[in-house]
Structure 1
Amino acid sequence: MNVLDLFCGTGGFSKGFENSEKHNYQVRFGIDILDTSISTFKLNHKKASAITGDIRNIKKNEVMDLARIKKNDVDVILGGPPCQGFSSIRPFRSSMEDDPRNTLFEEYASYVNFFRPKAFVLENVVGLATHSGGKTLEIMQECFHSLGYDTDWRILNCAHFGVPQKRERFIMFGFERGVRIEFPEPTHYYDGFTIGHKDKSKIIKPLKVLGLPKSITAMEAIGDLPAISSGEKSESYIAKPSNFYQIQRRGDCKELTLHYATKHSEKMMEIIRHSGKNINCIPKHLITSGFSSCYSRLDKDEPAVTITVNFVHPASNRCIHPILDRALTPREGARLQSFDDDFIFYGNRSEITKQIGNAVPPLLGRVLADHIGKYL
């Protein structure tokens, strides 16, 4: 089944589709505004074509030529239109033509209308559900309905689906008219806080706690990686994987990559040694300001909090190692995002860290791929 990945970033989401063991997906095309992200996408999607650029400036006929695909040969379109564009969404006009005046959401809808996939998946930040009092979402769904697609959406927590991270996402499914849309059931149980929504039916939570394994914890995800200190690196595995998640992520990898720790100053090391669940654990004379989650340590017995683009710096959102005195390494961040160890990231340290933090967890992509494949 042929897949197009719009606003693809590293391609983690679509990699999850290719990793499906239940259905055979082939990613044919990706587009993103960042050149480093497209370089990473190409390294991990060998059979796909990819373009760096503003999606509004690329003609769809060019996409067909590049992807070597016809209009009616697309099965699934994926993508998360950047949320900056939502403030200017208008009641939908027409998406038949290439129009550089389109908002980024309208361009996504334009691809749906042009290629007529059997299904599409639109993922985004949880805030989309309540943007402009729900009006934005209403306009989006009206748009897809006018194009002949039925839609439904949910808010889900990745920790309920085997990802060792309490990352919440908005997910919309779209299918050609007449399909009864259902969403996947959680595979793991986590009883922590969820942002939520006034309509509780829109939140996917485990209905049957009994029998479900507990969510993967931070240490279960990264505990087999060498215990390096501030400023150190390691390029080889020392311990054997100790659980199924580690076995899956490591695969056949013999060489460890991206496992290098930020070199912290002595003052920062003193802050880190005091770190705990929140900033209140830090003596007041050591810091001047910060959010409650700054300079805070991950809980080893819980899934990680949402990984941000600055997770290699202790001042970011709870990104100090659960038991070691340093921030996370890029490899540890990738593990918490459910990237396999053989996934190749292109760019310098800062660019790679941002790619990891911005990604949709591949394991979430795989769960959704397994689910919607039943409809296709």
Structure 2
Amino acid sequence: MEIDRAAAATYAANFDPTGVHTHAGDITGYIDVPQVDVVIGGPPCQGFSALGKRDPADVRNQLWREFVRVVRESGARMFVFENVDRFAKTREFRLLREAASEDGELADFNTQVFRLNAADHGTPQKRIRTIVVGSRVGPVDEPRRTHAKTPSGDLDRWVSLREAFLQGSVVLEPIVREAWLPESVVEFQGHEVPGAFKLPDLHVTRNHDLLSEIRYAHIAPGQGRFDLPEELRYPCWRRHTRGAGDVLGRLQWDQPSVTIRTEFFRPEKGRFLHPQWQNGGEQVNRALTHAEAAVVQGFDDRHLWCGSKSEIARQIGNAVPPPLAKAIADVIASRLASD
């Protein structure tokens, strides 16, 4: 179930080649709900994100109710609900918990809430998410960490960008000249969609203007907009000296990335400048490529992508990192197997 046709085509390309199990449409119009063991969903997070307006009337905030409807109609034994970290502090979260309490719509489910960091599960990114697990077959264990900021015992150190970009199955070279995806389309449910693209196809940059590149050249790893010379700051930044320090920030080679968002290709939106600066080769004054952002999310070279550059960027930024998804799936599968 996916309202974004390009994202639905990407799902089908990877998991459902015939497309018969992929519904591209609005969940509010989804009535032929099949009987399943587990329902997994992540209603849009923009209405809850600290970066958004956090408008209580935002219609996207109400889609969790449709998720609850599908859980009930599917006869599922378990459900998994994913959202931004802030969701756990919202009115909608409280209502979701109430739905699983006595006399609620999900009264026969026992719910557990986990606050998980993708970096703790082998993703080269510090990304914290609220995971709500509902079960009618008994409690599940919290997904076990495999990595930590400071390694100890059987925990490895967080995966760095250097490891992810330069030591993975596909080496992502810092110098990129190509700005466009290859010309290719696939047919998906009667529509032509760009794709399907492999990871190396996504290693494309943007044509930044000269003044932007000059600004980027002044930002060292770990620095951001506050470190620009006064004459290079945007006029609005000269008047507002507070706010997000990550904006126009440069990543660091030996640390995980910050949270990848849907506009990672615009350094003015966050800490998305490539980590290579003055040491170790030619200085790189650009944002992350789509391929780099996908790797930061934990995708490997087996994954296929469909859509335009902006549509694929949205898919990457909205995704649950596969290493984190696997950690959650492992505890779900273990519980179902023991029932």
| Alignment TM-score, normalising by the size of structure 2 | 0.78
**CA distance in structure 1 between the partners assigned to 2:92 and 2:15 by the alignment:** 38
The residue number in structure 1 matching 2:72 is: 113
SS across alignment from 1:302? coil
Corresponding residue for residue 172 of structure 1: 132
Confirm whether residue 303 of structure 1 aligns to residue 249 of structure 2: no
CA contact (8 A) 2:199 2:300 kept: no
Q: 1:104 Cα deviation (Å)?
A: 1.7
SS in 1 for 2:211: helix
C-alpha distance after superposition, 1:138-174 (max 9, x if no partner):
3243276744111110111110010100011000111
Pick aligned residue for 1:225 from 157, 172, 184: 172
Partners in 1 of 2:133 and 2:94 — Cα distance?
A: 18
Q: Distance in 1 between matches of 2:89 and 2:308?
A: 36
The residue identity in structure 2 corresponding to 1:35 is R
1:105, CA displacement in angstroms? 1.5
Kept after mapping to 2: 8 A contact 1:144/1:150 = no
Deviation per residue, 1:211-249 (Å, 9 max, x gap): 3110101121112212214656899xxxxxxxxxxxxxx
Distance 2:94 2:135 in 1: 22
Unpaired runs of 5+ residues, structure 2, are: 49-54, 183-196, 238-243, 277-283
Deviation of 1:287 after TM superposition, in Å, equals 2.1
Indicate if the aligned counterparts of 1:190 and 1:214 stay in contact, CA closer than 8 A.
yes
Match of 1:248 in 2: none
Asked if the contact 2:72–2:106 (Cα under 8 Å) also holds between the matched residues in 1, the reply is no
Change (3 A) 1:105 1:273: same
Opposite residue 261 of structure 2, the aligned amino acid is T
- Could you tell me how far apart the structure 1 residues matched to 2:92 and 2:26 are? 29
Which sections of structure 1, spanning at least 5 residues, go unmatched?
1-30, 65-70, 90-101, 192-207, 236-252
Aligned with residue 316 of structure 1, among 258, 266, 269 = 269
Instruction: State which of 292, 314, 331 in structure 1 corresponds to 2:291.
Output: 331
SS of alignment partner, residue 299 of structure 2:
coil
- Tell me the equivalent position of 1:82: 44
> 24, 29, 36: which is aligned to 1:52?
24
Equivalent position of 1:200 in the other structure: none
Deviations 1:111-145 (A, max 9, x none): 21122222211111111111139633532432767
Counterpart secondary structure, 1:275: coil
Q: 1:231 to 1:256 in 2, by over 3 A?
A: closer
d(CA) in 1 for partners of 2:44, 2:104:
18
Q: Secondary structure at the match of 2:257?
A: coil
What is the aligned partner in structure 2 of residue 275 from structure 1? 219
Question: Among 316, 321, 325, which residue is 1:365 paired with?
Answer: 325
Aligned length: 290
Letter in 2 for 1:298: L
Alignment identity in percent? 32
The answer to whether the 8 A contact 1:259-1:332 is kept is yes
The CA RMSD over aligned residues, in Å, is: 2.8
